[in-house]
Amino acid sequence: MILLKTAEEVEKLRASNLLVSKTLGELAKRIAPGITTESLDKLAEEYLRDHGGVPGFLGYNGFPATLCTSLNDEVVHGIPSDNELKDGDIISIDCGVKLNGYFGDSAYTFAIGEPDPDWKALMENTKQSLFLGIEKSRKGFRLGDVGHAIQSHAEKAGYSVVREMVGHGLGQNLHEEPEVANFGRRGSGVKIKAGMVFCIEPMINKGSRYIQQDKDGWTIRTKDGEPSAHYELAVAVTNGEPDILSTFKYIEEVLN
Q: What's the full length of the chain, in residues?
A: 256
Q: How far is the CB of 254 from Mg ion (least distance, A)?
A: 20
- Tell me if residue 141 falls in helix, strand or coil: coil
* Interface with Mg ion, residue 107, by CB under 5 A: yes
206-235 binders of Mg ion (CB under 5 A): 232
Residue closer to Mg ion, measured from CB, 103 or 119: 103
Are 168 and 199 in contact, with CB atoms under 8 Å apart?
A: yes
Residue of 37, 97, 99 lying closest to 68 (CA atoms): 37
Q: How far is the CB of 87 from Mg ion (least distance, A)?
A: 26
Q: Which stretch binds Mg ion (CB under 5 A): 109-117, 137-145, 199-207, 208-216?
A: 199-207
* Interface with Mg ion, residue 181, by CB under 5 A: no
Binding string, 129-158, against Mg ion, x = CB under 5 A? ------------------------------
Count CA atoms within 13 Å of residue 153 on its CB side. Answer: 24
Q: How far is the CB of 26 from Mg ion (least distance, A)?
A: 17
| Of the residues 73, 74, 94, 226, which one makes contact with Mg ion according to CB under 5 A | 94
Q: Give the alpha-carbon dihedral of 44, 46, 102, 66, to 10 degrees.
A: 50
Q: Point out which residues bind Mg ion (CB under 5 A).
A: 94, 105, 107, 199, 232
